[in-house]
Each structure stands twice: as C-alpha cells, then as structure tokens.
Chains A and B, each alone.
Chain A
C-alpha cells in the first residue's frame, strides 16, 4: 500500500476509510447476528444450502483460483523483502518463503491463525510506525510533507481525498467519486467483508453474539489508523525519491519501477541493526499471515467443496485429511507460479483488486440476493454468477488487449489500472445482480419453509438484551462513523 500511495497518492486512504469502515460496521451490525443464528458455516457451503450443488462448485472453483492468485501475491511480497534486505536471488527468496509457509500451514489450524494474527498486528504497528515518525522528523512535519508533494504534482493532486474527485484528470488515481463509492466503497469492500471465507469463519470462533458483533466494529478503529503508517510512508517516499540530495530511489526491474519496494527501502534507510530485524519481521509477518490464510482456505475449499462434492463423494474422513495436506503442498507449489506472475505487475495492489473484481464482486451480488430475497432461484444464482464472473474477466481482457475503449467502462477520458478495477467490479456486480433477478423470475422457486436459517427475514435472530447503551455495538458503530466523517472532512 505504501507503494500504491507512491503511484496514486492520498486516494489510497479510501481503501481504509470508505473502502472498509461502512462494510465492517454493516458486518458487525447486520450480518453477524444472521451468520450467528443461521446454519451457515462457509460461503460455498451456504450456496449449496441456499441454492444448489452447481452454484457451490462454481464458487468453489473460482474461490480456489482466487486464493492461489492472492497467495502468490503474498509469496512474492515475502520474497521481495528477502531480496531487498538480504540481497538474496529472486528464485531462492521465492522458494525459501514457500517452504516456510508450507511448514507453518501444515502445523497450524484456524485458532492458531487468529492468535498469530493478533500478535502480528502488534508486530506490524511497532515494527512500521517508526518509519512514519522518522520520515516526519527528516522532512520536518506532516505539513511539510504535504506541501512538498503538492509542489511536485502541480496539475494532479496527490494529497486530497475528495475535493479533486469531480474531475478524474485532477487526482493521482484518475478516478471520479462515483467509481470510488460504487466500485470500492460498495462492491469491493462489502464483497470482501461480508463474503470472505476467513472473515465469516472468525464469527464462529467468537464466544458469544456480542463479541462476534463487536469484533469488526472495534477493528474498524484500528483500520482507520492504518493510513498513518501506509499513506504517510508513501508520501514520504515520494518526497525523498524526488529529492536528488536524499539518495533515495525505488528498485527498477527491467526498466519498470517497482512501487512495492518503497516501504522496504525506507526501512533500510532509517532502521539501524536491531530495528531492521524488527521491521523485516513485521513485513514478513503480515505477508505470511495472508499467505497462510489463503492456503488454508484453498485446501478447505478444494477438499470439501470440489473434491468431496464432485470427484469423490464416498471419501472417508482419513482420506479427506490426507487430501487436505496434499492440497496444502500442491497449493503452495502453484502459488510459486502465481508469485512469478504477480512479480510481472508494476504494483501488487492493482493486481489484487483485479482478482477481487473477477470473483468477489459478482459473488457479493449473489450472496446479497440470496440472503435478503427469498424468491431468488438456484438457476438464477448459478447463471447470474457465471455471467457476472465471465463478464468481469472478459472486460479485463478486452481492456488489456485493446479490444474495446476503456472509456466505455470508466466513463472518463483518463484512467488508471485502479480506476479500471473499481469500475469493472461495479459493472460485474450489476450484471450479476440483474441477470440473477431476471432468470429467477422465470425459473422454479424453492418453498419458503426450506429457506429458514438461510434467508434473513425468514430466520429468527438471537437478541442481545440487557447491555448498557454505551456498550452496545450500535453506539460504538456510531462513534466509528463520526471518526470516519471527521477524517474525510479533515483531509477533504
């Protein structure tokens, strides 16, 4: 994300504010009670119960592919850290990272993943926040950083959030507010927070409903603070890279600027021995958590939602356990391949959002309709989802190989990779949404009594009475919204 800020400027903060907070609060307030009191155990599992086997397998295959691609990104990022700090060869860095994660995942489970995630959270804050502090000290103040970035980019703003979003040619991401709100704020963010396998699984490890609801609401405050590490360091990197006296420049791979090298290079600049160890550990910890989560999700989806559901229905538990372990090893080997692909993209966040726009964006339409509208049919869901994912991938290829004019998608004369991702996600969601409804109107509906526990409104939800008003999730969520509004106005 620091690298992304280097490329796009302050607009990257939208990923942590409008692109995360509303969805996290929605998850805590409305989705958690539903997940908690329903029969849902995983997203593909839900699709099978709510619709049918074919929708589950379609989502399972897409999801397995997505986890491998995202896990490749994390693997590449780990290798980048080893390459930058230890000077290791790219290939050796990739394979050592892969072997470490293989050992870590085969030995761990969901609970250890949640434990390590909390520890990693502290490691990341203590390991990386000092980069921001030292950057501010070197340049002078936060005001000086903003001022110097403004001097560098006179026609395009890299330091505002909304005031330049009316005209896409005025901001670093080359996008309008419509693309941010619809593509990122609604589709990509709600798609991630309400349908992500790992997020939903965490709900079941909470000790009671209130804890399950409070987790994403409290997490929203920490999420809002993340830009003070990633955006600030990105802006610091812009100032330093444009100051010939600083001696700071990003890595170049075959003439192409490697934006993701910004944060590792800042750590190398400021951290003496001792702190370097902490900074490198923090970076590796974050990527390793992402990698491990994706590989665990891959082996679960492959073993239960594809292998057991389609290829071998009579498999014994012992055989499935063996298959899960084999899937971990194969998944990691495939991730090494996708890691090399990720390396070919100038910035990993562009690539990751492209993947989300193919899989998560249309899936969010299917899940939303499935959870809230009882008359959506199995055939409607299947063909809607297939059309949504197919259209998203086709739009990606069509722009990449110049089959169509990208202006058709982004509705403006200028665009960046990220703007294309946001708009593609929105269109894919809309296509899936409309097709699912249209096909459902003409196909056989399931009786309402079969859908109890699967559709909100047909499902009685566990209440949470007897909590003082200031400890209620709703109250804390309002405070979170107020902080979000203040931040957006302050950096307007």
Chain B
C-alpha cells in the first residue's frame, strides 16, 4: 500500500509503537485507579477493564513492533 522514499519503516511498525504506548497509558491509569479508586465509579468498574484491556493493547502493540522491527519497505 505504501510507496515512500526508499528505506522506510513499514506502517505496521508505527502501529505497534502507538498501540504499546497507548496501552501503557491505559494500564498505568488502571493501576492508579486500582490503588486509589476515584469518587465517581463507572458501571462494571469492579472488573478493572483498564488493567486487562491495557495489557491486551500492549501485547498486540509489541507483536506488531517486533515482527516489523527489522523490515523495511520501498
């Protein structure tokens, strides 16, 4: 899909970086909410969705990142 100047990282590498970074932010916010629960609780907050969804995002992000770490596209 991409036709860039030579020797460029593929888009999937950046997708991996973005997902890992955002997953980390979600996970950190989740840990903070777990340690000191906020005054206003959301529905199903007892399941701590930030903790496991943040982990899923980090896992997916790292997968994209490592699979495309060495590849280059034209």
Contacts and interface: CB of A to CB of B under 8 A. Distances in A.
Given A138-B44, A275-B50, A277-B29, 17 more contacts: A118-B11, A119-B14, A119-B15, A123-B22, A126-B53, A130-B53, A134-B44, A134-B49, A205-B1, A205-B3, A206-B1, A271-B42, A272-B45, A273-B33, A273-B38, A274-B25, A275-B26
A400 interface: no
A123 B47 CA distance: 22
A274 B2 contact: no
A249 interface: no
Contacts of B26: 274-275, 277-278
B62 interface: no
Given A119-B14, A272-B29, A114 B1 contact: yes
Interface of A: 111, 114-115, 118-119, 122-123, 126, 130, 134, 137-138, 205-207, 211, 215, 269-275, 277-278, 281
A114 B15 CA distance: 13
A476 to B, nearest CB: 16
Nearest to A273: B29
B7 interface: no
24 contacts: A111-B2, A114-B2, A115-B2, A118-B11, A126-B57, A126-B60, A130-B53, A205-B2, A205-B3, A207-B1, A211-B1, A215-B1, A270-B42, A272-B30, A272-B33, A272-B42, A273-B33, A274-B29, A274-B54, A275-B26, A275-B49, A275-B50, A277-B26, A278-B25
Contacts, number: 86
A277 B11 CA distance: 23
Contacts of B30: 272, 274
A207 B74 contact: yes
Top 10 closest pairs, chain A to chain B, by CB:
A274-B29, A274-B50, A274-B26, A272-B42, A269-B43, A275-B50, A207-B3, A118-B11, A122-B15, A130-B53
Contacts of B74: 207
Given A122-B18, A130-B53, A137 B1 contact: no
A154 to B, nearest CB: 28
A452 B48 CA distance: 62
Interface string B1-31: 1111000000100110011001001101110
A111 B44 CA distance: 41
B51 to A, nearest CB: 10
A110 to B, nearest CB: 11
Given A114-B1, A119-B15, A205-B3, A269 B22 contact: no
A137 B47 contact: yes
Contacts of B15: 118-119, 122
B44 to A, nearest CB: 5
A275 B43 contact: no
B8 to A, nearest CB: 11
Contacts of A118: 1, 11, 15
Interface in B36-74: 38, 42-45, 47, 49-50, 53-54, 57, 60, 74
Contact of A111 (B4, B33, B50): B4
Best-buried of B28, B32, B43, B50 by chain A (most CB within 10 Å): B43
A270 B44 CA distance: 7
A426 B4 CA distance: 41
B70 to A, nearest CB: 20
A206 B54 CA distance: 33
Best-buried of B3, B26, B60 by chain A (most CB within 10 Å): B26
B33 A274 contact: yes
A139 to B, nearest CB: 11
Contact of B18 (A123, A207, A215, A273): A123
A118 B15 CA distance: 8
A130 B49 contact: yes
Contacts of A111: 2-4
A272 B49 contact: yes
Nearest to B29: A274
Contacts of B2: 111, 114-115, 205, 207
A270 B43 CA distance: 5
Contacts of B33: 272-274
A275 B60 CA distance: 17
B23 to A, nearest CB: 8
Contacts of B25: 274, 277-278
A448 B20 CA distance: 56
Contact of A270 (B11, B29, B49, B60): B49
B44 A137 contact: yes
Contacts of A134: 43-44, 47, 49
B26 to A, nearest CB: 5
Contacts of A278: 22, 25-26
A449 to B, nearest CB: 32
A220 to B, nearest CB: 15
